[in-house]
Amino acid sequence: MKHSRKHRPRGRNDRRGIFLLDAIVALALVTTVAMILAMCVGRVGQAEQRMADRRAAARAAEAVAARLISNPGSTAPESLDGASIRVEPVSADDRTIRAFKVVAEVNHVRAEVTGFTAAEGATR
Place 40 in a pLDDT band, splitting at 50, 70 and 90: very high
Instruction: Express each pLDDT in 62-114 by its tens digit.
Output: 999 999 888 877 888 888 888 899 998 888 777 778 889 999 999 999 999 99
Please, are residues 74 and 99 in contact by the beta-carbon 8 Å criterion?
no
Residues 6+ apart with CB under 8 A from 49: 107
> Is the residue at 62 inside a domain?
yes
Q: What is the DSSP string of 65-94?
A: HHHHHHSTT----SEETTEEEEEEEE--S-
Domain count, the chain: 1
Instruction: Express each pLDDT in 46-65 by its tens digit.
Output: 999 999 999 999 999 999 99
Place 28 in a pLDDT band, splitting at 50, 70 and 90: very high
Rounded to an integer, the average pLDDT of 20-38 is 93
> Is the residue at 1 inside a domain?
no
Tell me, what's the pLDDT at 15?
A: 61
Whole-model pTM: value is 0.65
> Is the residue at 123 inside a domain?
no
Other C-beta atoms closer than 10 Å to the C-beta of 1 total 2
Residue 82: domain span: 12-118
> Is the residue at 33 inside a domain?
yes
> Is the residue at 69 inside a domain?
yes
Torsion of CA 67, 96, 100, 70, to 10 degrees: 10
> Is the residue at 7 inside a domain?
no
> Is the residue at 83 inside a domain?
yes
